[in-house]
Structure 1
Amino acid sequence: MFDNNRSAPVPAGYRPTQGIHTQPPVYFLEDLKGKVLWEAMDPDCCHFLRHVLERRRPDGLQMIFSEVKDHICILMLDWYGSYVIEKLYEVCDNEQMEQVVFSVTSDADVLMAVCLNSRGSKSMKKFIECLRTPEQKSHMISIFQSMTVPLVNHKTGVGVIRHCLYIFPEKQTQIFDVIADNLFEIATTESGAFLLREVLNSQVFPPEIRQHILSEIIENVHRLYLEPFGSRVVLHVITVRLEEGVRDIVARLTGAFACMSVNKYGTWIVNELMEIYKKEYTPQIINEIISSSDFPRVLLHPYGKDIIEHAKKHTTGAVLNSLNHQIALHSDHSRSPCHGENVKPKWKI
Structure 2
Amino acid sequence: MNELEIETVLSKVMEFLYELMKNQSGSQFFEKLFVFCNEEQRTRIILALTKFPLKLVNVCINSYGAKAMNTILEKLTEPQQISLLMSALSPAAIALANDPSGQHVIIYCVKHFSGEYNEHLLNDIADNCLKLATNRSGCCVLQSCVENHHGEARDRLISEIIVNAVHLAGDPFGNYVVQHLLGMRIPDVAADLYKRFLGYFASLSCNKYASNVVEKFLFHSGQMHAASITMELLTSPYATKLLVDPFGNFVIQSALKNSKGHAHDALRNLIQVNAASMQSNLYGRKILEHLEKRKQHSA
The bucket for the TM-score relative to the shorter chain is 0.7 to 0.9
Determine which structure has the larger helix proportion and give its number: 2
Amino acid at match of 2:4: R
Superposed CA offset, 1:228-281 (max 9, x none): 332122222223322221111111001101111101222212223223345221
Name the structure 1 match of 2:107: 162
- Cα displacement (A) at 1:324: 5.1
The percentage of counterpart residues that share the same residue type is: 26
In the alignment, which residue of structure 1 is the partner of 2:59? 114
Alignment of 1:231-310 (within 5 A): 231-310=175-254
Tell me, yes or no, if the aligned pair for 2:223 and 2:260 is still in contact at 8 Å.
no
Moved more, 264-273 or 81-90: 81-90
- Provide closer, same or farther for how the CA distance between residues 96 and 145 of structure 1 changes in structure 2, counting only shifts above 3 A: closer
**1:101 has 2:47 as partner:** yes
Q: CA 1:273–1:164 in structure 2 vs 1: closer, same or farther (change >3 Å)?
A: closer
Q: Residues of 1 paired with 2:221 and 2:113: CA distance?
A: 38
Opposite residue 266 of structure 1, the aligned amino acid is: A
Unaligned runs of 5+ in 1: 1-50, 337-341
Instruction: Describe how 1:60-71 pairs up with structure 2 within 5 A.
Output: 61=7, 64-65=9-10, 67-71=12-16
RCO (CA 8 Å, sep 6+): is it higher in 1 or 2?
2
Q: How does 1:202-241 map to 2 (within 5 A)?
A: 202=148, 205-241=149-185
Partner of 1:171: 117
- Segments of structure 2 that go 5 or more residues without pairing to the other structure are 292-299
Structure 1 residue 56 corresponds to structure 2 residue 1: no
Q: CA deviation at 1:166?
A: 4.8
Match of 2:127 in 1: 181
Distance in 2 (alpha carbons) for counterparts of 1:218 and 1:296? 29
Length, aligned pairs only: 282
Is this contact kept in 1: 2:111–2:144, CA < 8 A? no
Given the superposition, is the C-alpha separation of residues 296 and 133 from structure 1 closer, same or farther in structure 2, using an over 3 Å criterion?
closer
Alpha-carbon shift at residue 101 of structure 1 (Å): 2.8
8 Å CA contact 1:56, 1:91 repeated in 2? no
In structure 2, the residue matched to 1:312 is 256
Matched residues in 1 for 2:111 and 2:261: separation? 50
Do 2:50 and 2:88's aligned partners in 1 also have CA atoms closer than 8 Å? Answer: no
Return the offset for 1:104. Answer: 4.9
Q: Could you tell me the TM-score, scaled by structure 2's length?
A: 0.75
The TM-score with structure 1 as length reference comes to 0.66
Secondary structure of the equivalent of 2:189?
A: helix
Contact 1:261–1:270 (CA under 8 A) maintained in structure 2: yes
Superimposed CA distance per residue, residues 110-150 of structure 1 (whole angstroms, 9 cap, x where no aligned partner):
4333213333223223444458574x644532331232123
In the aligned structure 2, how far is the partner of 1:191 from the partner of 1:157? Answer: 9
Work out the CA distance in 2 between the residues paired with 1:144 and 1:230: 25
Matched to 2:172, the amino acid is P
